[in-house]
Chain A
Amino acid sequence: MAHLHIKNLQAGYGKKMILDNINLTVEQGEMIALLGPSGCGKTTLLNALCGFVPVSNGEIFAGDRAVSQLPAEKRNITMVFQSYALWPHMTVAQNIGYGLKVQKAKRVEIENRVTELLNIVKLEGLEDEKVTALSGGQRQRVALARALAIRPDVLVLDEPLSNLDAKVRLSVRHEIKALQKQLGFTSLIVTHDQEEALVMADRIAVLNQGKIEQIGTPEEIYHHPSTPFVADFMGAENHIEWPTNDDAFHLSLNNHAAPLDIYFRSENAVLSTQPSAIKDDFHTGLVINGHVAQSVFFGNNYQISVRCGKHTIQADHDQNLPEHTPVTLRVPIDALYAFTKNEKHSEHQKNHAVSV
C-alpha cells in the first residue's frame, strides 16, 4: 500500500472535459470518500486513476510512481465495481486468485492467499461455488477479495453498496470499514450517499460538476460546509436568500448588510406553537413565523412543512400538528450556514462575519 497523490488532474471523454483541476492526496492507510450527486464525475475520476479514461493534464502518483501514462494493467490500482464485474464462468476461488495467476504466482501460493482472503471477507468454504450462485452481498465481498488479492497500492471502490438492499448494505458497509482499519489499505470510495460517506471515511471530498468543493474530516464537512453546495448536499436543505423582504423572518446576525445565502437543517429548526412567546436569547440566529402546511410521519418524529410567505421551511417536531397551525421556528446561530452571495466559493461567513 502506498499513498495516492492526484495533482492538477484533468480528464474527460473525447473533447468533453469532465474533471477539472482535481487535487487530492490520500495518505497511506487512509480512506477518503468521494461524495457527489449522480453525474458529477466520480466514476470518471476513478476510471482516470485506473487508466480506463485518458488523463489529458496533470499527474497521478501511486507511492512515488507517476502512473498517469501507464496502461491500466501496469498501474497496480484496483477497482471494486458497482456491478461487481465478477466473471461468471469462474468459481469464487478462480475469481479471487485471477490477479495472482496473471502474475504467474505459484499454485500453492495462490491457494493460500485465496483461503486467507476468504477468511478475511467471511466467505469460508465457498471457494468452489459458482459466483452466479451467490447473493449480492456475497458477490460484492468476492469482488473486494479479488481486488485486494494482488496487494494493490491503492484500492478504489465505485459505489460498492448501491446495488445491495438496505439491510445488507449496512452490514457490508460495516465490514468494508472494519477491513480497511484491519488491513490499512489506501482507498478512495465513491458514494452519493452522505451517511455512507460520514460513517466510512476518514476524510470526505465533496465533488460537484467535476470540481472538488471541499475536503475535510466528516465533522468538518458536516458542521462547517464551506460552500452552499456542500451545505445543501450535507442535508442543510432549508435555503433562504437574505434579505427576504418579509416580516416573518428575523435574522440576528450582527453583520448582515450584504445579501446572504442561508442554509440550515430541519432538525435544527426548533418549532414552538406559541407565537406570542417570542423572547429571543442571544443564541437564536433566525426566527421565522409561519403556518403548518403539511405534517409527515418519519418514524421517530414528524417533518413539518412550514409555510411562511413564499418560502416553505422544513422542521422536525415530536408531535403531529394540524394544518394551518401558527408556529414559530427558531434556528440557533451556530446551526446557520450563511454565505455572502457574490463570492459563493470564497468565504465562509459563519466563521468570519457572524458573531454573537
Chain B
Amino acid sequence: MRQTTSRNLLKNHLWLIAPAALMVGIFFLYPLCFSLYSAITLDNGAFTLSHLHKAFELYSNDILFTIVIVLSSVVILAVLSVTIAALITLSPFRSLTKTLGFLYRLPLFIPFIVTAQMMRTFLAKNGLMNNAFVASGLLTPMDTVSFLGWSGIIITFVWKQLAFSTLLISGAMAALDDSQIRAARNLGASRLRILFQIILPQIIPTLGVAMVLSIVTMMSVLSVPLMIGTGSPTMMTADMAFRINSYGDYHVANALGLVSYCICAGLAWFYLRQNLKEKGAN
C-alpha cells in the first residue's frame, strides 16, 4: 500500500528533482567523467594507459610522499583531537575546559591559504617561532632550523583540521550518557581506562568519519604544499597544477587526478559503510 503510493508520488513529482539533478549532472558529473575520460584517452579518443604510466613514472615519489604526509597528519590529528576531546569531557577542571573548548574552534574559521601564510611566517628559519626561541635564549640563531617542508605541511594540516575533528569527536563524547562514565568510576576505573575502554570504543565510527573527511580535505589542498613545501618531493595537487600551468598537459594532470580519486574513493567506501552500520544499529 505504502509502496504503491510512494511510487505514484515519485512518478508524478519526478520533475521536482529535475533542476537539482541537472545541476549535479552539469557541474559535477560531467566534469568528473570528462576528467576521468581524459585521463585514459588520447587526443583522438583512443583508449590508452600512457598518461597513467607517465604519471607514475614522473610522480610516483610524489604520490608516495602525498600518502605518507596525509597518513602521518591524520594519525597525529586523531591522537590530538581525541586527547583534547577527552580533556574536555573528563577533566574535573570546568573553567579550564571551557577556555579550551573555545580556543580549539578558532582554526575552523580561518581559510587554508591564510593558515598556510601564517604558518610560513611562523615556521621559517627566521620566522616567529625561531625568533621567540632565540629571544628566550633557548637557541642561538645558528641552531635554528626551518620547519618549511614536509614537517611544516604536516603541522599546517594538523593545525587546520584539528578544530573540525575535535568538534566532531567531542560532540560524540558529549552525547554519551554521563552516567556511563560515572558507573565506570564507581567500579574503580581511572580516567585513562575509561577513555580507552568505555568512551573510545563507542566513538570509533565518529572518529573514522572525522579522519576520512580530513584526509579528503588534505588531499585537495593546493596552497599548503605550494607555500610551505620545498618543491621536491611535493604533493600531487602541486604536480597537477604544474602539469597544467607549465605544459598545458591536461591528460597527465587528469591521470594524477584519477589516482587521487581512487585513494579517496576507497576512503569514501569506508565512510559510507560506517554510516550504514550506524543507521542499522539505531
A contact residues vs B (CB 8 Å cutoff) = 50-52, 71-79, 81-83, 85-89, 98-99, 102-103, 143, 146-147, 149-150
Contact = CB atoms under 8 A, between A and B. Distances in A.
Interface string B162-185: 000000000000000101101111
Given A81-B179, A85-B180, A98-B197, 20 more contacts: A50-B186, A51-B185, A72-B182, A72-B186, A73-B189, A75-B186, A76-B188, A77-B186, A78-B187, A79-B183, A81-B182, A85-B177, A86-B183, A87-B184, A87-B202, A88-B202, A89-B202, A99-B187, A150-B187, A150-B188
A73 B197 CA distance: 15
B232 interface: no
A103 B189 CA distance: 8
Contacts of A72: 182, 185-186
Nearest to B204: A89
Nearest to A71: B185
Contact of A102 (B179, B182, B187): B187
Nearest to A132: B281
B193 A85 contact: no
Interface residues of B, number: 17
A105 B222 CA distance: 54
Contacts of B187: 73, 78, 98-99, 102, 146-147, 149-150
Closest 4 A/B residue pairs (Cβ): A99-B187, A85-B179, A72-B185, A85-B183
A78 B189 CA distance: 12
B198 interface: yes
5 contacts: A73-B189, A79-B183, A87-B180, A87-B198, A146-B187
Contacts of B177: 83, 85
A99 B197 CA distance: 12
Interface in B198-240: 198, 201-202
A263 B105 CA distance: 59
A52 B188 contact: no
B245 interface: no
A103 B185 CA distance: 12
B136 interface: no
Main secondary structure of the interface of B (DSSP, over half): helix
A85 B182 contact: yes
A321 B170 CA distance: 62
Interface of B: 177, 179-180, 182-190, 193, 197-198, 201-202
Given A87-B180, A89-B201, A79 B186 contact: yes
A195 to B, nearest CB: 26
B182 A73 contact: no
B178 to A, nearest CB: 9
A89 B190 CA distance: 19
Contact of A52 (B182, B190, B193, B197): B182
A206 B9 CA distance: 61
B183 A81 contact: yes
Contact of A78 (B179, B186, B198, B202): B186
A89 B201 CA distance: 7
Contacts of A88: 202
Most chain B beta-carbon neighbours within 10 Å: one of A50, A76, A78, A81: A81
Contacts of B186: 50, 72-73, 75, 77-79, 147
Contact of B182 (A71, A79, A103): A79
A113 to B, nearest CB: 13
A81 B185 CA distance: 13
A98 B182 contact: no
Nearest to A74: B188
B59 to A, nearest CB: 43
Contacts of A81: 179, 182-183
Contacts of A78: 186-187
Given A52-B182, A79-B182, A73 B202 contact: no
Nearest to A83: B179
A146 B186 CA distance: 11
A82 B183 CA distance: 11
Given A73-B186, A83-B179, A102 B202 contact: no
A129 B216 CA distance: 38
B183 A102 contact: no
A179 B201 CA distance: 33
